[in-house]
Amino acid sequence: MSTIPVIVDCDPGHDDVVALWLALGNPTIDVRGVTTVGGNVPLPLTTMNARVALTVAGVNDVPIAAGASGPLERELETAEWIHGENGLGGPELPTPTMTLDERSAQQLMVDVIEASTEPIAIVATGPITNVAILLRDRPDLMSRIREVVWMGGSTERGNATPYAEFNALVDPEALALVLESGVKFTMVGLNVTHQALLTAEVRERIIAIGNNTSRFSDDLMRFFCDTNETVYGMPDGPLHDPVAVAVLAAPETVEVVHVRLDVETKGTHTAGATSVDLHGLLDREPNAYVAVGLDVDGFWNAVVDAIKTLD
């Protein structure tokens, strides 16, 4: 089976952890590197949490490097109200066996891309700052980047402000820069990730796997569901980030359309809002693929099958 070489750029975060597990456990994906960004919690914690995610899964041969501590221009906004003070509220966190690569995220990305005989896909599940820096500073590598798939934005309303999804709100300038770069870009927004709900049945399926990763998942999912119920009245927490990985790992489960996508960077009340022209009203060339549908059963089957392959 041919595999897709991937870098996962993330801000763990409960759902980022499951995104990492889906990427690491799916046979179609070959994770060449993990990079971290300040987002859900500050960079030292998202980086520690990425190391924890790989340690829990028994993965020790994928480099992890820390990237941008905050957005290109703005102050970092974090999301402890969903993820807890340490970013992975719920389970007791093991001491990571995964060491931190001494390179920066940008250097790791460059090294992975330059060492690959085929173009690298980047799946970003946090504020897209690291990807923006890579594309800004190394436009010469564009032809060696297969595509960027990002969990963020929405075709509808936001979850961090009424109009902005969290990842887009944290660094809208980075998103604008990535869209401007011309890289093949897929946005997986709340309109789809709100279908990836951690129902009791799904949680039972994951826990029934019975390995170390699934046991760790139990407290992780319970905390995430509790905070999503408290904040949004959604007791079956929407597991956003793995849906972005599914675009590559199980593309048959995610329906996308090719449309014009822009991001608001100036609005007083709308900064971070993603403008998705689903009906061609602006008469502007499509510049992105946007997820509009999810095969929920197929998605969860991919997640469960991936976790089964881990420790």
Query: Residue 158 or residue 260: which is nearer to Ca ion going by CB?
Result: 158
Query: Residue 171 or residue 241: which is nearer to Ca ion going by CB?
Result: 241
Residues 211-250 that bind Ca ion (CB under 5 A): 241
Query: Residue 16 or residue 101: which is nearer to Ca ion going by CB?
Result: 16
**Number of C-beta neighbours around residue 34 at 10 A:** 29
Which one of the listed residues 14, 240, 258, 269 is annotated catalytic?
240
Residues 97-136 that bind ligand RIB (CB under 6 A): 125-126
Query: Can you name the residues that pair with 40 across neighbouring β-strands?
Result: none
Among ligand RIB, Ca ion, none, residue 63 binds (CB under 5-8 Å by kind): none
| Summary count for the chain: helices (H), strands (E) | 12, 9
Rounded to the nearest whole angstrom, what is the least distance from the CB of residue 227 to ligand RIB in the complex?
12
State yes or no: residue 16 binds Ca ion (CB under 5 A). Answer: yes
Q: Are the C-beta atoms of 43 and 68 separated by less than 8 Å?
A: yes
Kindly provide the residue ranges of all beta strands, DSSP E only, lying in the chain, ordered along the sequence. Answer: 4-10, 29-36, 64-66, 120-124, 145-151, 185-188, 254-263, 274-277, 288-294
State yes or no: residue 78 binds ligand RIB (CB under 6 A). Answer: no
State yes or no: residue 9 binds Ca ion (CB under 5 A). Answer: no
C-alpha span between 126 and 80 (Å, rounded): 14
Task: Confirm whether 240 is a catalytic residue.
Answer: yes
State yes or no: residue 9 binds ligand RIB (CB under 6 A). Answer: no
What are the phi and psi torsion angles at 62 (to 5°)? -115, 125
Among Ca ion, ligand RIB, none, residue 166 binds (CB under 5-8 Å by kind): ligand RIB
